Amino acid sequence: MAMEYHDFREDDVFSMKGKTTIWTDRVIEVGLMFNDERGKREQVLRYIDAINEQIDFIVQNRALIADILTKDGMLSLAEDWITGDDDLEEGETRNYTLDDGNEVTVPLKEKVFRSSLRMESIVIDLTGGRENQSAELYVFCIPDYFKGHRIVLDVEHDGTITCRGLTG
């Protein structure tokens, strides 16, 4: 669903902030960062196509994002957070109850981990203009494998996606 000019409001943290849905029916915040704090509304109008292209890229690349998170070790990190100090023997499975009340079985199946990923928010940085635009993604899991922490990813203007790890 494309965002429009009127979807954005001025914000204390970001230059402008709006809401949209992405990956699921969950409403998320989209923060915009501009270099010039004057004329924010005009900048939204100027960049609305770039904003929607960035969001579309994220929507279209959900599987790639999940691949990157899995390859960068987030699946095994989730297992570490779940099991704590427990040492599992090779081939052993064990059930755990998470802080959010959900029960999970470790080792996690990759398909289960991938389907748990949810977008929390996106910050689109337009301080360098459209040609240098980037985005910062905040992703979480349901069930909450990381005890309230979020996974942070960067999307560069050339489409390169990197995982920065956990925050929170």
Domain annotation covers residue 40: yes
> Residue 80 belongs to what domain range?
29-84+93-167
Amino acid identity for residue 91 in this structure: G
| N-to-C CA span, the chain | 29
Domain annotation covers residue 69: yes
* pLDDT of 63 above 90: yes
Nearest to 7 by CA among 27, 36, 35, 26: 27
Q: Where are the alpha helices (DSSP H) in the chain?
A: 40-60, 62-71, 74-83, 110-116
State the pTM of this model: 0.93
Residues in the chain: 168
Domain annotation covers residue 61: yes
For position 39, what pLDDT does the model report?
87
Query: Helix (H, G, I), strand (E, B), or coil: what is residue 111?
Result: helix
In the chain, the number of structural domains is: 1
Domain annotation covers residue 49: yes
User: What letters, b where the CB count within 10 A reaches 16 and e where it falls short, cover 67-81?
Assistant: eebbebebbebbbeb
* pLDDT of 88 above 90: no
Domain annotation covers residue 45: yes
For position 35, what pLDDT does the model report?
87
* pLDDT of 37 above 80: no
140, 116 in Cβ contact below 8 A?
Answer: no
Nearest to 55 by CA among 133, 168, 142: 133
